[in-house]
Amino acid sequence: MHARIELETLLQSPEPILALAPMQDVTDLRFMRLISGYGNADVYFTEYFRVLPESRLDPQILASITQNPTGRPVIAQMIGNDTAALVRTARELQQHPVAAIDLNLGCPVPIVYRKCAGGGLLRDPARIDQILGALREAVAIPFTVKTRIGFDDTAVFEELLPIFARHSLDLLTVHARTVKEMYRSAPRYDFIARAVAAMSCPVLANGNIYSAPKASEVLALTGARGLMIGRGVIRNPWLFRQIREQRRGAPVFCPTGRDVLEYVHALYEAVSTPGIRESAQINNMKKYMNFIGLGVEPTGEFLHQIRRATTRAEFFTLCRRFLDHDAPMPLEPFPIALNSTDVMAGAMR
């Protein structure tokens, strides 16, 4: 009950809500604990619970709820297309200290959308309508949705907004790209502004929020009630703190290279799994370094080299070479040339 009261208080506060986005295989208990020490989010979203007719709650994702180390509300996200299974899972989740139940309508991963889940559901507004109706009836706590602006065409967005409004959502998050755009195009923030105008519930803006000035720009452009930030916080764990400092007119913290190096060390320790071979630990770190590396230097050399590290010694030797200095590091993404198929393409400003 405490988490739900905190969420309701946040929704009523005049300050923008700052949410950590749900990122699969990233926003687990360990990452949430780490980020909470750098500049806590106001609210955290879990990785998505995969919901199938015979599925059960993933114990590792559930731990980020039952062992919540942040002191802030946690919203449980579900993904799936089986209405009965989604209802059953929502009821199960409500037995735990969750602040709200969220439905994922935006995941752009092909293996997900090809099964008509996540962003794939945006091709079937009638089915979304039916699922939301069933979930709204089953969810006795705040019920939220995270969506993109269409699957491969934004025309459906005008059809989706009345559906969202009809089911009395408590919060809507809009990622301002289509599913097929992945992260490779510039977000179209005007679609978020449309959602703000159409919905009676608060709307969070999501997509390419990489600095405190960018946060202010997106809030001004959209009129959104707050911001959901994912990849920007992997690269810059101080981002929530910086946004708050800028809003109150305080000096905005800017890390040095050594601050970033300490963060990389803390991240390595936080996400390491005892008993796993060193090469696997390094490979696991690379999914984080792919984003951190965009803010290290402009040539792409750090990113190129760190992707090829195979041992802990090699990994941290490279990190020290590029980060062991006292110069300020804004950690804003440099326009590094990336392959069109790279998941980070489009992560720049």
**Residues known to be catalytic:** 107
Gap between the Cα atoms of 42 and 18, Å rounded? 5
| Block residue for tokens 């408590």 | 170
Q: DSSP states of 6-74 as a string? A: HHHHHHHSSSPEEEEPP-TTTSSHHHHHHHHHHH--SEEEEEEEE--TT----HHHHHHHHT--SSS-E
The tokens describing 240, both together, are 């929530």
The tokens describing 158, both together, are 């005008």
CA quadruple 241, 247, 249, 252: dihedral positive or negative?
A: positive
The tokens describing 22, both together, are 């749900």
Gap between the Cα atoms of 155 and 288, Å rounded? 34
Pick the closest to residue 22 from 6, 1, 7, 41 (CA basis): 41
Pick the closest to residue 66 from 93, 34, 26, 106 (CA basis): 93
Gap between the Cα atoms of 68 and 73, Å rounded? 8
The tokens describing 254, both together, are 């800017």
Q: 123: exposed, middle or buried (C-beta count within 10 Å: 0-12, 13-18, 19+)?
A: middle
| CA dist 174 → 72, 145, 161, 207, 342 (Å) | 22, 9, 11, 8, 23
Gap between the Cα atoms of 162 and 147, Å rounded? 14
